[in-house]
Amino acid sequence: MGIKLGILGLGTVGTGTVQLLQDNIGRHSLLQLVEIYRVGVKSLDKPRDVTLPQSVLTTDLESIVNDPEVDIVVELIGGLEPARELILKAIQNGKHVVTANKAVISRFGTEIFTSANRQGVYVMLEAAVGGGIPVIQPLKQSLSVNRIHTVTGIINGTTNYILTRMQTEGSSFDAVLADAQKLGYAEADPTADVDGWDAADKISILASLAFGGRINREEVSCEGIRQVSKTDITYANNLGFVIKLLAIAKKVSPTSSTLSVRVHPTLVPKTHPLASINGVYNAILVEGEPLGQVMFFGPGAGAGATASAVSSDILNLVARVGSSEAAPLDPLLGCSHQDYCQIAPQNELTARFYTRFLTLDQPGVIGKLGTSFGQHGVSLESIVQTGFQDKLAEIVVVTHDVLEGDFKQALEEIRSFEAIHSIPSLLRVL
Ligand SMILES: NC(=O)c1ccc[n+]([C@@H]2O[C@H](COP(=O)([O-])OP(=O)(O)OC[C@H]3O[C@@H](n4cnc5c(N)ncnc54)[C@H](OP(=O)(O)O)[C@@H]3O)[C@@H](O)[C@H]2O)c1
């Protein structure tokens, strides 16, 4: 008996997935049971890189999720609507779902998984984080015997590509972004990538799996890379760091169940395993007890890589559809989270900070900065005048681990000093 797929979307990932499934020799033999039964697109006239019978293609996506013949719906259209609505309809119709859509899962996961559990169907999302890197299923299964305390990822290829080129070429953010758009590594509207939203969607999903609870996406703090300048990259380099956009989910202390979940550009020591992840590649470092550290590395996007992840979900489902329909959901494949994880307010977290000040060239400015930080309980690792920009002195401060609230209060006071011209950068240090 064949397993009938209804695929929504035949763009980059949809095309890659159809190509992989059509070319199934030498892959897992269960894939031979898969039948590409319906494929939903926006335009029937568009030239395609795959050959499918005309009768398979349709622009009526609702007809696919409502078709009683379809066993598995594969959502690859992206965006929030109509993706959310189609996923929910598929679930209500008793169909398993595979999706690569991190935006919809991170925002509407609660609604989607509650509905899926009620209907006794699976929603699989291996491709939603890290493209081709298998990380969702390992977090659900092999790693879940550990007490995980930290997940740190470079999980947005576009920003990693931009930062890597800024680092190696000494180019500015704007120049590299424009070139990345020309080369197809950045979207025409790069907001979701460069402002960190895409990484925030993905770390919400990873945190949920690593810490066994739901994550309110709105509580995830998020800063992008627009403020990272080539000057900061040079200073960071001199101090022994590279700048990466990190997505971090961690327990605020070993005994606490409260989490810190955030995305921000970060100075990463050159010796850290994530420091050498360059270009469009992604990596996710998972730390827990008793395992220690394990790092997943690979292509975070692209037709073939993402198709590999989508098809692995299809394979997992094919292995189960066909077996007893009445069987309870496999807890290693489904989602059993009921409660929300508590996320600590940003001001209560500790972090190390790197800050660059432009000041008037007056005596005693460094002393005033040091005093203000000290009065707010912010202990400094280093404070150095690095040079001049036009007639302004440039001072770089690196703190020890300090309370974010204390640090921000000190900055508030420092901003009001007459000698302070501006604070062009404020970055965190891993
Ligand atoms: N691209 C990657 O490398 C990658 C990696 C990981 C995850 N993802 C995720 O995978 C999903 C798909 O991404 P993609 O890059 O493949 O997108 P894409 O190239 O833009 O393709 C989207 C497809 O969906 C169809 N579509 C969109 N809206 C539709 C609507 N309202 N009705 C009918 N069809 C509609 C389009 O039809 P037409 O072809 O007729 O226009 C197109 O075939 C997204 O959630 C994305 O975040 C992508």
- In eight-state DSSP terms, residue 260 is E
Contacts of 7 (CB under 8 A, 6+ apart): 14, 17, 18, 36, 38, 39, 40, 73, 74, 76
46 within ligand 1 shell (Cβ under 6 A)? yes
pLDDT computed for residue 337 by the predictor: 86
At 327 the pLDDT is 74
Mutate to test the pocket of ligand 1, among 7, 8, 13 (most ligand atoms within 8 A of CB): 13
Q: Check residues 284 and 184 and name the one with the higher pLDDT.
A: 284
Q: Give the fold, CATH level 3, of 346-429.
A: Alpha-Beta Plaits (3.30.70)
Please list the residues that pair with 262 across neighbouring strands.
221, 248
Flag the least confident range among 18-32, 60-74, 77-91, 316-330.
Answer: 316-330
State the Cα torsion 109-113-116-122 to the nearest 10°. Answer: 90
pLDDT at 349: 92
CB of 17 sitting under 6 A from ligand 1: no
Residues 136-298: name the CATH superfamily. Answer: Dihydrodipicolinate Reductase; domain 2 (3.30.360.10)
The whole-number pLDDT of residue 326 equals 64
Residues 6+ apart with CB under 8 A from 141: 332
Ligand 1 center–CA 8 separation, angstroms: 8
Q: Which range among 125-139, 275-289, 336-350, 371-385 shows the weakest confidence by mean pLDDT?
A: 336-350
Instruction: Please give the full DSSP string across 60-87, using - where no structure is assigned.
Output: -HHHHHT-TT--EEEE-S-SSTTHHHHH
Bridge partners of residue 57, in order along the sequence: 39
Decide: 100 in ligand 1 pocket, CB within 6 A: yes
Average pLDDT over residues 411-428: 96
Which of 42, 61, 189 should be mutated for ligand 1, with most atoms under 8 A from CB?
A: 42
Instruction: Count the neighbouring beta carbons within 10 Å of the beta carbon of residue 219.
Output: 17
Q: For ligand 1, is residue 78 a contact (CB within 6 Å)? A: yes
Q: What is the pLDDT of residues 236-274, one digit of tens each?
A: 999 999 999 999 999 999 899 999 999 999 999 999 999
Going 56 to 61 to 65 to 66, the CA torsion angle's sign is negative
Strand runs labelled E in 197-319: 221-222, 241-251, 259-269, 281-289, 292-299
304 lines ligand 1 (CB under 6 A): no
The answer to whether 89 is a known catalytic residue is: no
Q: Considering only CA atoms, which residue is closest to atom 10 of ligand 1?
A: 100
pLDDT band at residue 324 using 50, 70 and 90 as cut-offs: low
Query: What pLDDT is recorded for position 325?
Result: 57
% the chain with pLDDT above 90: 93
**CATH code of domain 3-132+303-321:** 3.40.50.720
CA 42 to chain CA centroid, nearest Å = 27
Q: Which two tokens stand for residue 36?
A: 């590409």
- The mean pLDDT of 315-341, rounded to a whole number, is 84
- Pairing assessment for the beta strands 292-299 and 281-289 based on DSSP bridges: antiparallel
Q: Are 258 and 265 in contact (CB under 8 A)?
A: no
Average pLDDT over residues 341-349: 93
Tokens of 158: 């576009």
Q: Is the CB of 306 under 6 A from ligand 1?
A: yes
Per-residue pLDDT, 321: 82
**187 CA from centroid of ligand 1 (Å):** 13
Choice among 4, 89, 140, 202 that is catalytic = 202
Q: Which pLDDT belongs to residue 390?
A: 86
Q: Is 423 helix (H, G, I), strand (E, B) or coil?
A: strand
Chain segment 144-199, per-residue pLDDT in tens: 999 999 999 999 999 999 999 999 999 999 999 999 999 989 999 999 999 999 99
Distance 79 CA to ligand 1 centre (A): 8
Neighbouring residues of 263: CB distance < 8 A, sequence distance ≥ 6: 196, 199, 200, 203, 220, 221, 222, 223, 224, 245, 246, 247, 248
Taking CA atoms, 86 is separated from 62, 95, 224, 314, 389, in Å, by 7, 11, 31, 18, 55
pLDDT in the model for residue 62: 98
Among 12, 58, 89, 101, name the best residue to mutate to test ligand 1's pocket (greatest count of ligand atoms within 8 A of Cβ).
Answer: 12
Choose among 301, 333, 338: nearest CA to 319.
333
> Are 3-132+303-321 and 136-298 in the same CATH fold?
no
The CA angle 83-133-33, to the nearest 5 degrees, is 65
Please enumerate in sequence order all residues whose Cβ is within 8 A of that of 183, keeping only pairs 6 or more positions apart, or say none.
none
Q: Is the CB of 64 under 6 A from ligand 1?
A: no
Confidence class of residue 1 from pLDDT cuts 50, 70 and 90?
Answer: low
Q: What is the mean pLDDT of the chain?
A: 95
Domain boundaries, the chain: 3-132+303-321, 136-298, 346-429
